[in-house]
Chains A and B, each alone.
Chain A
Amino acid sequence: MSGGRLELDFRLVRGRFDLAISESLALDGVTVLFGPNGSGKSMTLRTIAGLETGAEGIVRFEETDWLRSDSNTFVAAHQRPVAHVFQDARLFSHLDVAGNLGFAERRAKGAGPDVSRQDVIEVFDIAHLLQRMPQGLSGGERQRVAMARALLTRPRLVLMDEPLSALDVQRRAQALNFIEQIPERFQVPVIYVTHHIDEVVRLANQLVLIAGGRIEASGRSADLMSRLDLPPFTGRFEAGSIIEATVRRHNAEFALTELEVTEGVKVEVPFLDFPVGEVVRLRVRARDVSIAVAKPKGLSLRNVLPARVEEVQAEADTAFAEVRLSVAGQAVRARVSRASAHELKLKPGKAVHAMVKATALDRRLLARR
């Protein structure tokens, strides 16, 4: 069971910020709390962990009230079977890595499934770090130790607060591999806070969208993905769209994978380690999409997809316009200059070619369609 029901109905006022969260979550795998900076994601997580003492209302996990203001119930953080992985991978600087693990191990309440020291050392690949002090570790190593340590408390719920924010792009990809394994390997649900859309696409089984201290929407991530790219969740620079495609063929010589969006519409991406027939998600950033009115030749870009213009929206205060395209029924957004939109006479209904620099995202979530 990597599940559990979490009932949230609380209010937390900090200065001028007013957080009011009301949601019932059937936790399963990774639940991502997604929202812009300052939307209240971390505070929500801290309230679940019991680190915010000012919250009023109800926090209930399974049959246990962790917070119930009307009966003055407050279970202290150290008594909740919850592990928290912090943004800055807080490790105890007075203990070496083995000491940090031991700290958690000795205090494990045994509420959750069995987790042994051997398990976490193996899964997070930290055997060679055991005698090192935290100060000498890289950001990625620190996070792996922090995750290993968190799981050693044998929690029934793991909370992660932007654990990758201190890492560079390459390290983040590595760390995601580790995080992805947690729910199944350790039979524990994860609530994961981030404002990075690629982490959402990669990890989320469930999605909760937060903005301005309120939950805007929640549900299965596949159903909510299209809303991710709408303001206020994503800035213009990061805006994009998500399309689904099926793995058709691998090209070992050029390290490419060919995906089919729909009959006859193909996209090539850098090699993806998925079997042929698997359905994957692709995230295409609006700024990586260009538009041509005639099919171009002699391009280095290999992905030229037939598309239809659905809508053209000029951004009043910039040189750009946002163009919503339909590629075989799936929405793709493009961000082009207003001058181009004008010159190419882009209007709803016009048939065009979308040239895409695809950013591949490897999540097998939709395999069983």
Chain B
Amino acid sequence: MTAEVFDAIWLTVQLATISVVLLLVLATPVAWWLAFTRSRLKIPVEALTTLPLVLPPTVLGFYLLILLGPAGWLGSWWVSLTGETLTFSFTGLVVASMIHSLPFVVQPMRQAFQDMGTGPLEDAATLGAGPVDRFFSVGLPQAKRGIVTACVLGFAHVLGEFGVVLMVGGNIPGRTKVVSITIYESVETLDYATAHMLSAGLLLLSFAVLVGVFAVNRSIPVRAGQ
């Protein structure tokens, strides 16, 4: 395995891990809000968080390129803050991955919160638990399965993304060159050995992760009869 290929793998794992961790922090409150709100904003917000699921990655990538570029408002703000550009950087990739994978993290959690319903929360309230307490002591543990699913789907989705990464991150070894792009490049240069190895690696990893998730979900007690 060449150093460049190893870099690509390591970068991809880092990207997926960081994106999913940050997404969990941001998406959980959004999912909670979507599950329980009666606000009129619910439908537009729901549409907005689902949008990355249906948009072609190149469209999303194009707009992100504009937004994150030195002339875009987010990009220029970032430049003034750090002196670095967001486009063609690892940080920019994280932002892009988070937006691209948002629906994969929000939807399972929203579904889990909805399945739980308001019953356990009312129950907790009458036992003296305030809103924040209810979220952490009842909401999160009750939605455990949904959260695990969200992590896995989010992680796998970041691993596999191609179009957005190419548009926003380019192909800079060690900074933005992830596994999926390395595979594409290997095929282009007829380096089938590397393409095989990385593809098989991703395939096995994805399979192993899914097996792990299903096994874990089985051991989390199922809520019966509710």
Contacts and interface: CB of A to CB of B under 8 A. Distances in A.
B122 A77 contact: yes
Contact of A149 (B127, B138, B221): B127
A178 interface: no
Interface stretch (A86-94, A200-208, A247-255, A340-348): A86-94
Interface residues of A, number: 28
A107 B127 contact: yes
B221 to A, nearest CB: 6
B125 A78 contact: yes
A150 B122 CA distance: 13
Contacts of A92: 120, 123-124, 138, 141-142
Contact of B125 (A77, A94, A103): A77
Contact of B142 (A49, A76, A83, A94): A94
B126 A49 contact: yes
A88 B120 CA distance: 11
A93 B126 contact: no
A94 B127 contact: no
A84 B144 CA distance: 26
Given A90-B119, A94-B144, A103 B223 contact: no
Nearest to A159: B126
A82 interface: yes
B216 to A, nearest CB: 15
Given A77-B122, A86-B119, A103-B137, A93 B128 contact: no
Interface residues of B, number: 25
B2 interface: no
Interface string A58-101: 00000000000000000011110011101010111111000000
A83 B226 contact: no
Interface string B124-151: 1111111101100110011010000000
Given A92-B138, A93-B223, A51 B126 contact: yes
B223 A77 contact: no
A83 B125 CA distance: 9
A93 B220 CA distance: 11
Contacts of B141: 92, 94-95
Given A86-B119, A93-B142, A77 B221 contact: no
Q: Which 6 A-B pairs have the closest CB atoms?
A: A107-B128, A84-B126, A77-B125, A94-B141, A135-B224, A90-B123
9 contacts: A76-B125, A76-B130, A79-B130, A82-B126, A84-B123, A92-B120, A103-B137, A104-B127, A153-B126
Given A78-B125, A84-B123, A93-B120, 11 more contacts: A78-B124, A78-B129, A78-B134, A79-B130, A86-B119, A92-B123, A92-B141, A93-B224, A103-B127, A135-B221, A150-B126
